[in-house]
Structure 1
């Protein structure tokens, strides 16, 4: 079985490819989506693992082209910055799963195999901080990662937005 991982985090990708190969997959890695099309154009993949944030651009922009090139492949989104908006967008546009990094290998293998696992539902309502983070992430996606344009759209000072992004990423 062949798997393609598109992720700009070289260290993470190297580890994941090695672990997937240990589990019997023939795994390949590309840092950018364009390399997938140029270096693996004549190959067939059963699974594609696609990072949501690829060197300043959204991996979701490549979802349609990946599906057209490899229609038989199960496309799974991996991200360190999950939000409800990007999850919905990914699933509506053909991704079969959406997983957050860091990921346990057992969970990834279940997703690759198509074994659905019911998400844990919280009794707690979603917090204001979470909603704000998701709104910021959605605006960043809409403005291709441009901080200044995102800040203007959110009617927020650019430095305030940068502080909130830095605070959340730490």
Structure 2
């Protein structure tokens, strides 16, 4: 059996299976856990080089378990891989000790560079941030401040709860 070098903690089983299969074609072997708790219980004996951690694990924040994960595997680099990216969560993740932060869907070349530890400076954008993107960032930051509580976030933003829910269901700008 190949040595496990990657641990993926993601509640989307189909996504995890497909991504791990694609990574195997590029020389990576890996294991999957559907939650941080499962990973910490069942994967203690693994020695991964990299841990791919989903930010939203069935309603629980992957960041809430980050320190525990780092304590269990201190030699592993932790990469957040999320479909719910925002500037606020990115900054918070980096402050908590995460090594990198990628958004889903992720380009395979970019993921492979991050897994290999190739540091590449991201390009600087010449265009200002759009109003829609700023609104999304404000919503995400306020949602994080209210620990995911939609009603409290809507009140803080002076927005109707249903309006906020519709905005959150839309794809990120």
TM-score by length of 1: 0.93
2:82 to 79, 84, 94: 79
Aligned to 1:15: 18
CA contact (8 A) 1:52 1:79 kept: yes
Q: Report deviation, 1:22.
A: 2.0
Alpha-carbon distance between aligned partners in 2 of 1:95 and 1:133, rounded to the nearest angstrom? 22
Cα offset, 1:7, TM superposition: 0.7
SS at match of 2:67: helix
Runs (4 or more) in structure 1 with deviation over 6 Å come to none
Give the counterpart of 1:136 among 134, 139, 164: 139
Query: How far apart are 1:20 and its partner, in Å?
Result: 1.6
Q: Does the 8 A contact of 1:58 with 1:144 survive in 2?
A: no
Residue number in structure 1 paired with 2:115: 112
Q: Residue 51 in 1 paired to residue 49 in 2?
A: no
> For the residues of structure 2 that align with 1:10 and 1:143, how far apart are their CA atoms?
28
The two structures, once aligned, show a CA RMSD in angstroms of: 1.6
> In the alignment, is residue 99 of structure 1 matched against residue 115 of structure 2?
no
Gaps of 5+ in 1: none
Please state how far the C-alpha of 1:16 moved relative to its aligned partner: 0.8
CA contact (8 A) 2:136 2:172 kept: no
Query: Alignment partner of 1:168: what SS?
Result: coil
Could you tell me which residue of structure 2 aligns to residue 67 of structure 1?
70
Gap change, CA 1:57 and 1:145, over 3 Å in 2:
same
Q: Distance in 1 between matches of 2:172 and 2:125?
A: 23
SS at match of 2:171: helix
For each residue in 1:79-119, what CA deviation from the matched residue of structure 2 results, as whole angstroms up to 9, or x when unmatched?
A: 11211111111112111111111112111110011101221
The alignment partner of 2:80 has SS state of strand
Name the residue aligned to 2:156.
Answer: 153
Deviations along 1:106-160, one digit per CA (max 9) or x if unpaired, are 1111001110122122111112211110111122223332211221222221011
Q: Secondary structure in 2 aligned to 1:107? A: helix
CA contact (8 A) 1:57 1:145 kept: no
